[in-house]
């Protein structure tokens, strides 16, 4: 099948969101999300078993709602797409089993897709610009990388990645220390709005000349985490909002130094920022400022399409259909740690 208007239904269950998106070609028709985040909050992080059960409970109604929003029937769907990794294995299996059941029953192709590639593919929705070549800054709860996307479904080169914590993980850990709750990213983003980003000069990991030799496009956030903890211990009368704002500034600054640097050095003048941390308001505004100065075209998906969703999975499935790629073989295995070099399973 090669059809640039194909109706594709995408299912995402890699973490705590049960999400279904429906697209027609590059047009987004429905994007429904049921989150179990509140069930995990008291544990300070996602509990895999709870997430898997929540996916099972929510799956049918989320699919039904998406079909109703898109005003289509399940029989109209031309192809199914589902996140096959990376993610929590039990959670992934709920999605892949559901999608396989639908594809078999309706005799339609099924694409197992990579969650990281899908975060970037969502940039293709509701517009007709060329997706690649581009440099991508992919920043989520589990990953932080700078990628050279020559072709999203066949040729992606990793220029650098984190050597310890992911950017979102750093937000979540610092939020816990600051008692701002889980997930930490949105909480710090909000708290930082009333703080001074210049109040504390936190370290920018792997930006010294000697680090750049081996780690030009790599990130490290563990030193920053230690610096924040030390600052809090020796400054009992600190202003929390100043800590939030200064921490956020340090993360965002270093992400952009390296991402803009990669775009300049490769001569690829398009930068896509994707993944949950791309919802950060300071990252969005500073990225625009620096991209404009460097004459780089910046693309960041709308905030609700940065954090995990089904539209991104449908978007990548739709790219695969449009490019005439072969569907996945039924029985493909979900892979909790798959890398971006396997965009389609």
Which residues in this chain contact ligand KG4 in the complex, by CB under 6 A? 15, 140-142, 168-169, 171-172, 183-186, 189, 275-277, 279-280, 307-308
Binding-site partner at residue 202 among Zn ion, ligand KG4, none, CB < 5 to 8 Å by type: none
Binding-site partner at residue 206 among ligand KG4, Zn ion, none, CB < 5 to 8 Å by type: none
Handedness of CA 90, 93, 98, 101 (dihedral sign): negative
Which residue, 67 or 313, has its beta carbon nearer to ligand KG4?
313
Stretch that binds Zn ion, among 134-142, 280-288, 298-306, 336-344 (CB under 5 A): 134-142
Which residue, 91 or 110, has its beta carbon nearer to ligand KG4?
91
Binding-site partner at residue 307 among Zn ion, ligand KG4, none, CB < 5 to 8 Å by type: ligand KG4
Which residue, 80 or 182, has its beta carbon nearer to ligand KG4?
182
Which residue, 242 or 308, has its beta carbon nearer to Zn ion?
308
Which residue, 132 or 189, has its beta carbon nearer to ligand KG4?
189
Handedness of CA 316, 325, 18, 334 (dihedral sign): negative
Smallest distance, Zn ion to C-beta of residue 118, A? 8
Smallest distance, ligand KG4 to C-beta of residue 73, A? 30
8 Å CB contact between 15 and 308: yes
Closest by CA to 198, choosing from 164, 150, 248, is 248
Task: Figure out which of the listed residues 165, 218, 242, 308 binds Zn ion, where binding follows CB under 5 A.
Answer: 308
Which residue, 123 or 189, has its beta carbon nearer to ligand KG4?
189
CA distances (Å), 329 to each of 103, 107, 110, 315, in order? Answer: 11, 13, 8, 20
Segment 281-284 long-range contacts (CB within 8 Å, at least 24 positions apart): 281/189, 281/193, 282/189, 282/192, 282/197, 282/248, 282/249, 282/252, 283/139, 283/252, 283/255, 283/256
Binding-site partner at residue 172 among Zn ion, ligand KG4, none, CB < 5 to 8 Å by type: ligand KG4
Binding-site partner at residue 205 among Zn ion, ligand KG4, none, CB < 5 to 8 Å by type: none
Smallest distance, ligand KG4 to C-beta of residue 308, A? 4
Q: Hey, which residues between 139 and 158 contact Zn ion (CB under 5 A)?
A: 140
**How many C-beta atoms lie closer than 10 Å to residue 30's C-beta?**
21
8 Å CB contact between 137 and 272: yes
Q: DSSP string spanning 262-299?
A: HHHHHT--EEEEESGGGG-HHHHHHHHHHHHHTT-EEE
8 Å CB contact between 147 and 263: no
Which residue, 280 or 328, has its beta carbon nearer to ligand KG4?
280
Binding-site partner at residue 186 among Zn ion, ligand KG4, none, CB < 5 to 8 Å by type: ligand KG4
Smallest distance, Zn ion to C-beta of residue 48, A? 15
Cα–Cα dist 21/8, whole Å? 8
Which residues make up the interface to Zn ion (CB under 5 A)? 140, 308
């Amino acid at each position: 099948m090669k059809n640039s208007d194909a109706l594709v239904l995408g299912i995402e269950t890699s973490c705590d969101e049960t999400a279904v998106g429906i697209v027609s070609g590059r047009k987004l028709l429905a994007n429904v999300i049921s989150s179990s985040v509140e069930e995990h909050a008291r544990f300070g992080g996602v509990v895999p078993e709870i997430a898997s059960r929540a996916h099972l409970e929510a799956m049918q109604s989320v699919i039904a709602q998406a079909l109703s929003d898109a005003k289509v029937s399940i029989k109209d769907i031309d192809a199914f797409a589902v996140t096959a990794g990376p993610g929590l294995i039990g959670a992934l299996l709920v999605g892949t089993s559901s999608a396989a059941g639908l594809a078999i029953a309706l005799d339609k192709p099924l694409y197992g897709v990579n969650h990281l590639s899908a975060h970037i593919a969502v940039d293709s929705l509701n517009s007709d610009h060329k997706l690649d070549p581009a440099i991508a800054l992919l920043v989520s709860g589990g990953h932080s990388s700078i990628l050279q996307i020559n072709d999203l479904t066949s040729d992606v080169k990793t220029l650098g990645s984190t050597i310890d914590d992911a950017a979102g993980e750093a937000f979540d850990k610092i939020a816990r220390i600051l008692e701002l709750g889980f997930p930490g990213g949105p909480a710090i983003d909000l708290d930082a709005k009333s703080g001074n980003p210049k109040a504390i000069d936190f370290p920018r990991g792997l930006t010294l000349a000697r680090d750049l030799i081996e780690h030009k496009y790599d990130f490290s956030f563990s030193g920053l985490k230690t610096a924040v903890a030390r600052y809090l211990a020796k400054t009992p009368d600190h202003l929390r909002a100043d800590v939030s704002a200064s921490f956020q500034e340090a993360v965002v600054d270093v992400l952009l130094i390296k991402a803009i640097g990669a775009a300049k050095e490769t001569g690829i003048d398009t930068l896509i920022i994707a993944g949950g941390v791309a919802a950060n308001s300071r990252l969005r505004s500073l990225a625009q400022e620096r991209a404009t100065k460097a004459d780089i075209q910046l693309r960041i998906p709308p905030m609700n399409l940065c954090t995990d969703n089904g539209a991104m999975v449908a978007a990548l499935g739709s790219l695969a259909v449009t490019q005439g790629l072969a569907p996945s073989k039924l029985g493909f295995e979900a892979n909790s740690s798959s890398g971006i070099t396997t965009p389609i399973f």
